[in-house]
Amino acid sequence: MLSLPPSVRIFLARDPVDCRKAFDGLCQVVRDVFGDDPFSGALFLFFNRRRNRVKVLVWDENGFWLFAKRLERGTFGVLDVEGRKGEARVQIARAELSMLLEGIDRKSAKFRKHFVRAVRLQRRDEHAGSPSR
């Protein structure tokens, strides 16, 4: 499994891509279809038409990595991308990437009620009545 920092951006191609493409072909898709820079350090995911293969392209400061996964049985799930129609690519979260690659159906997965997705830390002087240093 991939270990990704929280700052990495992950983009998923909405339309199928010919998975015979290698580094240069996928970089061209990122530039021409997505309008993005393949050297940005973001992860770009591409699925074939049958959705049984995925390729991940990423730049790591001195070269490209190309990860590929082929399922022997079944297909990769489809992410719910409602409200993002008309875009060539969709940004997804690290958790969505993990679920997608592991075969977990995102529609049936739920976040627990007490799980906080974003935390905002306050400085001590922002609290009412607390002395500031």
Q: What is the pLDDT of residues 64-77, one digit of tens each?
A: 999 999 999 999 88
DSSP state of 101: H
Q: What is residue 127's predicted lDDT score, i.e. its pLDDT?
A: 54
From CA 90, how far away is CA 44, in angstroms rounded? 10
9, amino acid identity: R
**pLDDT band per the 50, 70, 90 thresholds, residue 133:** very low
What average pLDDT score do residues 88-98 get? Answer: 88
Question: Locate tokens 């009620």: which residue?
Answer: 113
- Measured CA to CA, the distance from residue 65 to residue 28 in angstroms comes to 15
Higher-pLDDT residue of 25, 127 = 25
* C-alpha distance from residue 50 to each of 29, 39, 109 (Å): 19, 28, 23
Residue type present at position 120: R
**Model pLDDT for residues 102-128, shown as the tens digit of each residue:** 888 767 766 666 666 665 666 666 555
